[in-house]
Amino acid sequence: MTSVKSEQVVSLARGMRDLVRAEAAQSEQNRTLTHAIVDEMWASGLMTALSPTEAGGIEPSLAEMIEAWIEMAWQDGSFGWVGIANLPSRFAAATYLTDDGFAEVFTANDNHVTMGGQFFPNGQGTVVEGGYQLSGSWNFGSGVGHSEYVAAGFFPMDNGEMRWISEGIPDMQVAVIPRDQIQFNDGWHVQGLKGTGSYDYSAENVFVPAARTFGLFTREPRRGTSPATRMGLMPVTAAGHASWALGVAKSMLDDVAELAATKFRMSDMASLASRPTFQKGLAHHVAAWRAARLLVLDAFSTAEAAVAAGEDLNPTLRADMRAAAVFATDTARECAEWAHLVAGTSSIREGSRLERAFRDLYTGTQHAFISEKVAMDCAQIWLGIIDDQFGL
């Protein structure tokens, strides 16, 4: 595997441009990324980049990963989504599994482990000797189409009762399960993000050793030294969602700006680029996009620096990051809507980058992780209405 330095992560992503563009249509047809794309992610070192060094990663800063994820999503929405699914899933398992679990999953496979799935606790794990008997059904298992291991969130059940971490907060765990123990359901027929392999799946009474589980909200790393390992999965996931939306929106802004020089609407002799209304709209939306990107970088870098300095990741820092992710997503959606409208019929041609990006963005922004409920939770923390919201 290629050895790389942290500052090269964005370059690794950029090096995928020609391949991803050539394979995007086939990925959509396959409903999962092509083997060529996945193989190149491995060959370049991109697939492992976010993980701890013990798992073959290079532990870049969140700012570096944000820029890399923006680049990946700019190339293709499905490729970018896999980037924010497989890389964080692998990061979490490699960081938080026990030593025995890490040895079984990573060391025994020479660290060649791709992982995806759904971390929300849609399963129940009955406590048994040595682990859990897990059953459940999970939707939207991002990136599982090409994953050797599948992550599945669940509630531990002890003698038929849920376990509680504290008052009102149940224990939520994540199981790491070999692919051959999972049943996949043919449910990935969607408007956008068709190439992500985000299949529905289920498990029925599957034994999962405790060593192959970890707490969903843990911030206690067993390996890795980057601040991200002490921030937990939620901030990393939020950074991914914000970056993905920004990347897809940027692809549409860039494409419509390139199109504008040669685009003429029916009964109009002026090119799109020469129209003052287009110029004003482009200036507004590019500026909005840049502002959203800077907000994301500021919020996540500020929190990361605080953790690096030994401070707690307090509720305000977590709210700042999540609110930035929601704002970036909303801004990206507005940019995409404008670009789609001004491009006219050029944006409705099936298979074009504009058409695919529009479908992808409006699919990805339906995710609950960047919903208005998250924004309200953040505001309530800022206002002092609540002291904390553990889900942030």
Higher pLDDT, 132 or 165: 132
Mean pLDDT of 127-139: 97
CA-nearest of 354, 359, 392 to 81 is 359
| Residues 286, 250: Cα–Cα separation, whole Å | 8
Query: Does one domain contain both 257 and 364?
Result: yes
CA atoms within 13 A on the CB side of 70: 24
70: domain CATH number? 1.10.540.10
Same domain, 122 and 58: no
DSSP output for 15-70: TTHHHHHHHHHHHHHHTS--HHHHHHHHHHTTTTTTS-GGGT-----HHHHHHHHH
| Range in 244-248, 285-289, 386-390 the model is least confident about | 386-390
Q: Are 116 and 197 in contact (CB under 8 A)?
A: yes
d(CA 75, CA 86): 17
The answer to whether 305 and 63 have CB atoms below 8 angstroms apart is no
Are 207 and 132 in contact by the 8 Å Cβ rule? The answer is yes
Tens-digit pLDDT profile for residues 148-198: 999 999 999 998 899 998 888 999 999 999 999 999 987 789 999 999 999
Q: Give the residue from 20, 3, 145, 130 showing the smallest Cα distance to 71.
A: 20
Same domain, 238 and 373: yes
Q: Which has the closest alpha carbon to 153: 134, 133, 131, 175?
A: 175
Instruction: Answer whether residue 210 shows pLDDT above 60.
Output: yes
pLDDT value of residue 78: 98
Q: State the residue range of the domain holding 311.
A: 232-383
Quick one: 287 and 342 in the same domain? Answer: yes
CA 48 to chain centre: 15
Q: Verify that 237 and 344 share a domain, yes or no.
A: yes
27 and 89 share a domain?
A: yes
Same-domain pairing of 244 and 335: yes
Q: Left (φ > 0), alpha (ψ -120 to 50) or beta: where does 140 sit? A: left
Query: Is residue 256 domain-shared with residue 360, that is, in the same domain?
Result: yes
Is the pLDDT score of 5 beyond 90?
Answer: no
User: In 3D, which of 317, 327, 321, 316 has the Cα closest to residue 292?
Assistant: 327
pTM, rounded to two decimals = 0.95
Query: For residues 143 and 27, what is the distance between their CA atoms, to the nearest angstrom?
Result: 12
Domain count, the chain: 3
In a domain, 101, yes or no: no
Q: How far apart are CA 217 and CA 225, in angstroms?
A: 18
Crossing angle of the two packed helices 315-342 and 276-308, in degrees rounded to 10? 160
Specify whether 200 is located in the same domain as 281.
no
Q: Clarify whether residues 86 and 121 are in a common domain.
A: no
Mean pLDDT of 88-105: 98
- Cα torsion 237, 240, 242, 248 to 10°: value is -150
Half-sphere exposure of 143 (CA within 13 A, CB side): 29
Could you give phi then psi for residue 187, rounded to 5 degrees?
-115, 5
Would you state the pLDDT for residue 379? 97
What is the mean pLDDT of the segment spanning 92-115?
A: 98
Give the pLDDT of residue 337.
Answer: 97
**Exposure letters 89-114 (e unless 16+ CB within 10 A, then b):** bbbbbbbbbeeebbebbbeeeebebb
Name the band, by pLDDT with cuts 50, 70 and 90, for residue 282: very high
Q: What is the mean pLDDT of residues 232-249?
A: 97
Q: Taking residues 264-271, what's their average pLDDT?
A: 68
pLDDT of 270 above 80: no
Q: What is the pLDDT of residue 3?
A: 41
- Tell me the pLDDT tens digit for each residue of 50-85: 999 999 999 999 999 999 999 999 999 999 999 999
CATH code for the domain of 244: 1.20.140.10
Residue 170 lies inside a defined structural domain of this protein: yes
Least confident span in 46-60, 221-235, 280-294, 336-350: 336-350
Report whether 154 contacts 124 (CB < 8 A).
yes
- The model's confidence at residue 267, banded by pLDDT at 50, 70 and 90, is low
218 phi and psi, to 5 degrees? -65, 145
- Name the domain boundary from 68, 96, 124: 96
Rounded to an integer, what distance in angstroms lies between the CA atom of residue 216 and that of residue 153? Answer: 8
* Average pLDDT taken over every residue of the chain: 94
Residue 109, pLDDT above cutoff 50: yes
223 has a pLDDT exceeding 60: yes
- The pLDDT value recorded for residue 269 is 66
Q: Which candidate, 48, 192, 53, 199, places its Cα nearest to that of 112? A: 48
Same domain, 236 and 379: yes
- Greater confidence (207 vs 264) lies with 207
Residue 325 sits at the vertex; the CA angle it makes with 323 and 327, to the nearest 5 degrees, is 70
